[in-house]
Chain A
Amino acid sequence: MTVFISGGVKSGKSSLAQRCALRLAGGGKRYYVATMLPSDDEDRARIRRHVADRAGMGFETLEVPRRVEDCLSLGDHRGTFLVDSVTALLLNEMYPDGAVEADTGAARRCAEGLLKVAMDAGNAVFVSDYIYSDAIKYDAFTERYRADLASIDRALAAACDTVLELCAGCVTVHKGVWGE
């Protein structure tokens, strides 16, 4: 089964995704696909918080900041993979190793890798960020990033069995079934 989760900042996406992955895994293998490349202390603190959150849940952490489909060969592909987050993956693909110019093929590669995980994994849960509803005229780079992330979100939402939106910890089911 595949689940796509999006919503605003601090709405409880990661925590819901963890519970969801645990349930899908049953007693089986479960992998946390860590995507963030920490760039400062704020990032490192955030990672520590996430690690503490999932302590005791039996996740094996796979560090895959790019080429997300590699997680399938790093672990047992029949297991359950929690990919958190699509947002970070796209950023890492767009600006590899401190590149200044965005890699224009990043969104397509990212989408293909994620769809491969959705197809081939035993179960997969994807977390993205909903950054599309404010009244700001962004610069061209940011606007490009928003458009690219949205195109990946739409592809994943179309491919996944269940699509959930989170707001203040509350779930709206946009596709499929969900119950805790």
Chain B
Amino acid sequence: MDLIIGGAYQGKREYAMSRFALGEKDIFICRGDGEPDWSARCIAGLESFALRCVREGVDPVELFRAHERQWENSVLICEDIFCGVVPLGAENRAWREAAGRLCAYLASQADSVTRMFCGLAGRLK
């Protein structure tokens, strides 16, 4: 599995498409409702998936663990939402923490971790 993280609008999906020769149809984008399509070659918007988990009271790391055979060769994309001021609302705080824990878990399992900065890829792992 290859993990790509980076701030908003930094070119994460575009990079994934070019590096892994993906088309739009290969990418499942989490919109904050329902399960991701675990069979997709690329799952993007994991921060939205984490928000949905918080709202439904489930642990995103546990959900990912339960499906690990399905994403072990996938490309996963998460927005870096971790550098701002502590958010005011309790839900936003829980969201940020859940997404952060998910990223740390996925990074530990990943073959490669890439961080996007202004459209440029930097290898973290």
A137 to chain B, nearest CB (A): 8
Q: A136-B92, A154-B11 are in contact. Are A174 and B80 (CB under 8 A)?
A: no
Q: Is the interface of A mostly helix, strand, loop or mixed?
A: mixed
Does A99 sit at the interface, judged by CB under 8 A?
Answer: no
Per-residue interface assignment for chain A, residues 116 to 144, with 1 indicating a CB less than 8 Å from any chain B CB and 0 otherwise = 00000000000010101111100000000
Bound form: Cα–Cα A8–B7 in Å: 12
B81 touches A146 (CB 8 A): no
Min C-beta distance of B32 to chain A, whole Å: 11
Answer yes or no: A175 CB below 8 A from chain B CBs: yes
B92 x A132 contact (CB < 8 A): no
Contacts of A153 in B (CB 8 A): 118-119
Given contacts A132-B7, A132-B9, A136-B84, contact A154 B118 (CB under 8 A): yes
* Chain B residues with CB below 8 A from A6, complex form: 117-118
When distances are taken between beta carbons in the complex, the residues of chain B under 8 Å from A165 are: 117
| Contact residues of B: prevailing secondary structure | loop
Bound-complex Cα distance A165 to B116 (A): 12
Task: State how many angstroms separate the Cβ of A143 from the closest Cβ of chain B.
Answer: 8
Are B84 and A135 in touch, CB under 8 angstroms? yes
A133–B10 Cα gap in the complex (Å)?
Answer: 10
Q: Mark A1-39, 1 if CB is under 8 A from B, else 0.
A: 000101010000000000000000000000000000000
Min Cβ gap B62→A in Å is 21
Determine if A163 is an interface residue (Cβ-Cβ < 8 Å).
yes
Given A150-B10, A151-B9, A154-B11, also A135-B96 (CB < 8 A): yes
Over the window 94-125 of chain B, the binary record of Cβ atoms lying under 8 Å from chain A Cβ atoms (1 yes, 0 no) is: 01100100000000000000000111101000
* Chain A residues with CB under 8 A of B23: none
Interface pair A150/B8, CB less than 8 Å apart: yes
Q: How far does the alpha carbon of A146 sit from the alpha carbon of B92 in the complex, in Å?
A: 20
Question: Which residues from chain A contact B81 at a C-beta distance below 8 Å?
Answer: 133-135
Residues of B within 8 A of A157 (CB): 117-120
Q: Are A175 and B8 in contact (CB under 8 A)?
A: no
Given contacts A8-B83, A165-B117, A174-B117, contact A133 B7 (CB under 8 A): yes
- Whether a CB of chain B sits under 8 angstroms from the CB of A170 is no
- Contacts A146-B8, A146-B9, A150-B10 given: A133-B118 contact, CB under 8 Å? no
Subset of 15 A-B contacts with CB under 8 Å: A8-B83, A130-B7, A132-B6, A133-B80, A133-B83, A135-B99, A136-B92, A146-B9, A147-B9, A154-B119, A156-B118, A157-B118, A157-B120, A163-B117, A163-B118
